[in-house]
Amino acid sequence: MDQFLDLSTEEKIMLGVGFAGQALFAMRFIIQWLKSEISRRSVIPIAFWYFSILGGATLFVYALWRGDPVFILGQGTGLFIYARNLWLIHRERRDEAATEDAQAS
């Protein structure tokens, strides 16, 4: 416990950022699990991807601060994947809305 008392203010703030990122990242699994339980099948809700981006971005900032190339590469790659999935979801929804509008007219 003494190692935490000796941290600078910056280190304490960044430690808080790291823990917040980890909590956001963990929430994606909790949301996915709850949605799957409610649906009685495996489901990945859109909130999963938003929490992935929020948690991943926060952890990426923490990794940059730490200067950890392994952590930076892992979180940076994940951010690309999460953003791509959200883009695909939004494109699919846009296309479905356009199809519904065309069928309604």
Q: Which pair of structure tokens corresponds to residue 6?
A: 């000796």
Report the alpha-carbon distance of residue 104 to residue 28 in Å, rounded: 36
Q: What is the pLDDT of residue 55?
A: 95
Q: What is the pLDDT of residue 78?
A: 95
Q: Describe the crossing of helices 46-66 and 69-104 by its angle, rounded to 10 degrees.
A: 150
Q: What is the pLDDT of residue 105?
A: 77
Q: Which pair of structure tokens corresponds to residue 78?
A: 């994940």
Residue 88: alpha-carbon gap to chain centroid: 16
Q: Which pair of structure tokens corresponds to residue 66?
A: 């730490």
- Mean pLDDT over residues 9-29, rounded? 93
Is the full-model pTM beyond 0.85? no
Domain ranges of the chain: 18-104
Q: What is the pLDDT of residue 29?
A: 93
Low-confidence winner among 5-14, 64-73, 84-93 (lowest mean pLDDT): 5-14
List of residues 6+ apart from 26 with CB closer than 8 A: 55
